Amino acid sequence: MPVPPDPILRAAVRWLERLPASGAARLRALFTAHSEFSDITPTQYEAAYAWIQDTGLLDDLHSSIPAHRRVFDSAILHSRAPWFPDAGLLVRTPDELPDDALRAAASLGLSEDEAFGQLCSVWGKVDTQERSRIGAAGELALVELLEASTTAYIGHVAAWSDGFGYDIAVHDAQRTAHLEVKSTTRHGRLTVHLSRNEFETMRRDPDWELVVIRLTLDYELEDVATVPKEWIAAQAPADSSVNGRWESCRLDVPPDVPVPGIACIADALTGEAPAFLKGATGRSG
């Protein structure tokens, strides 16, 4: 649903501010009869009540977060605005706030700086959850594919611990590979979040490889590629002193960088392995 009109947003705040102490029926009578609330129509109050119900704001009426901030967060989160999934890239300063976010902020008495901070918080939580969900699905999809495509031992070590610095181990008599897996459902843009532990593991472990996989929206695996370690090393940040240390970084990988397939295990693949796993499909982006 798009960001609601200004009267609906303001009515939503009034509902949330008063519902902890009064029932809905009593508030309906108050909003209808009292001149202080006559700037908003009864229909708009009802629309606002339906909206806070649909968005889950009624589930926590005793939240310590001010009502106008909760309404702003919910308006952005449930807007399905086309810019929201990429807000981390598209909205980097308050000056870059989209018009619908600015309108909601003005209606709710938030400054541009406050609205920007709220947006960063909302998007950050959603992005983290989405990356975790897609990442878990991607790891499982690759494990299943490898188990069906090679006789080598496949260990999903990330299911045991996140301290290895990679997700999947591949072993047979001829080779060892330690695969760090990053997954996406997007076409045309690849963003990788790399932890310091993963980066340091790459630097000391010659068997480490960064594998990027693309999933369909149904979380089915459709493409596999490898990002060269030399490229990663050239892009990663550097600590400027002993008093500062980066712990994670975001890498925006150009489409011509990933190398199709997983070359380090190509010789271990059976004839039934899909072509994209062997790297037979050209550059992957």
> In this predicted model, what pLDDT tens digit does every residue of 254-281 receive, in sequence order?
999 999 999 999 989 988 888 889 875 4
Q: What is the pTM of this model?
A: 0.77
Residue 65 confidence class, pLDDT cut points 50, 70, 90: very high
Mean pLDDT of all residues in 41-64: 95
Question: Of 109, 111, 112, which is closest to residue 98 (Cα–Cα)?
Answer: 112
Residue 38 has pLDDT above 60, yes or no: yes
Tell me what pLDDT residue 88 has: 86
Residue 162 confidence class, pLDDT cut points 50, 70, 90: confident
Q: Where are the domains of the chain?
A: 6-110, 135-278
Between strands 190-195 and 221-227, the pairing is unpaired
Question: Of 273, 259, 206, which is closest to residue 231 (Cα–Cα)?
Answer: 259
CB 107 within 8 A of CB 6: yes
Distances (CA, A) of 99 to 4, 176, 223, 226, 244: 13, 52, 36, 39, 37
Question: Of 79, 56, 64, 60, which is closest to residue 5 (Cα–Cα)?
Answer: 79
Tell me what pLDDT residue 272 has: 85
Residue 188 has pLDDT above 90, yes or no: no
Most confident of 55-59, 79-83, 186-190: 55-59
Report the 10 Å Cβ neighbour count for 180.
Answer: 26
Could you tell me the two tokens for 14? Answer: 């009034």
**135-278, CATH topology level:** Trna Endonuclease; Chain: A, domain 1 (3.40.1350)
Torsion of CA 189, 195, 198, 201, to 10 degrees: 130
CB 267 within 8 A of CB 239: no
Mean pLDDT of all residues in 31-53: 95
Q: Which of 23-27, 66-70, 102-106, 183-187 has the lowest mean pLDDT?
A: 183-187
